[in-house]
């Protein structure tokens, strides 16, 4: 990627600016100050998405809705792994 590519991975963000695309405020609202993607990018898609919904549970939507979404991804991952074992 070139130095001017807007999609270029940039783990360091200016916390004083609001960027709803690259760094929405709810991505940095965890008490640790860590962005969820820093952790989830090392996980499978389903587990990463489940973690994302748990991480920001209640920050954008109803917390129970976020938890139900997490369970959906966990169940999908369980089914995928069960299918691989057959």
Query: Could you read off the pLDDT of 53-69 as tens digits, one per residue?
Result: 998 888 877 899 999 99
How high is the pLDDT of residue 11? 53
The kind and range of the H/E element at 85 are helix 63-85
How high is the pLDDT of residue 2? 46
1 has a pLDDT exceeding 60:
no
Q: Residues 74, 57, 24, 3: what is their CA dihedral angle, to the nearest 10 degrees?
A: -30
Tokens of 12: 């360091």
4 has a pLDDT exceeding 70:
no
Dump pLDDT digits (tens) for 10-56. 555 444 566 777 777 777 777 888 888 889 999 999 999 999 999 88
């Amino acid at each position: 990627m070139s130095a001017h590519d807007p999609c270029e991975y940039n783990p360091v963000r200016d916390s004083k600016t609001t960027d709803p695309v690259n760094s929405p405020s709810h991505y940095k609202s965890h008490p640790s100050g860590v962005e969820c993607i820093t952790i989830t990018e090392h996980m499978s898609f389903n587990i990463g998405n489940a973690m994302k919904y748990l991480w920001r549970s209640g920050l954008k939507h109803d917390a129970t809705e976020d938890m139900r979404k997490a369970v959906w991804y966990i169940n999908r991952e369980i089914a995928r792994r069960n299918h691989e074992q057959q």
